[in-house]
Amino acid sequence: MLSAVVAAVVALSSVVAPHSWNTPPPPDKIVIDVATVNGTGCPPNSAAVSVSQDNTAFTVTYSTYTALVGVGAGPLDARKNCQIGLRVHVPQGFTYGIASADYRGFAHLERGATGLERANYYFQGNSPTAYVQHPLTGPFENDWQFTDSTEVGAIAFKPCGEERNLNINTELRAAAGTSDPKKTTSYVTMDSTDGSITTTYHFAWLSCP
CB-hemisphere CA count at 13 Å for 1?
Answer: 9
Task: Name the range with the highest mean pLDDT among 8-17, 64-73, 126-135.
Answer: 64-73
Name 69's bridge partners.
186
Tell me what the mean pLDDT of segment 181-192 comes to: 95
- Is pLDDT at 55 greater than 50 in this prediction? yes
- Is pLDDT at 10 greater than 50 in this prediction? no
Spatial contact of 179 and 108, defined as CB atoms under 8 Å apart? no
Position 143, amino acid: D
pLDDT of residue 60: 87
Spatial contact of 35 and 165, defined as CB atoms under 8 Å apart? yes
Higher pLDDT, 104 or 98: 104
pLDDT of residue 66: 97
Least Cα distance to 148 among 190, 112, 98 occurs for 98
- Is pLDDT at 75 greater than 80 in this prediction? yes
> pLDDT digit string (tens) for 30-42?
777 888 899 999 9
Higher pLDDT, 30 or 138: 138
- CA distances (Å), 47 to each of 82, 167, 206, in order? 10, 14, 29
Tell me what the mean pLDDT of segment 15-39 comes to: 69
pLDDT of residue 160: 84
Least Cα distance to 107 among 74, 80, 145, 140 occurs for 140
Sign of CA dihedral 73, 194, 10, 151: negative
pLDDT band at 208 (very low <50, low <70, confident <90, very high): confident
Tell me what the mean pLDDT of segment 114-119 comes to: 96
Tell me what the mean pLDDT of segment 6-12 comes to: 32
Please, what is the end-to-end C-alpha distance for the chain in angstroms? Answer: 33
- Is pLDDT at 51 greater than 80 in this prediction? no
> pLDDT digit string (tens) for 77-91?
999 999 999 888 877
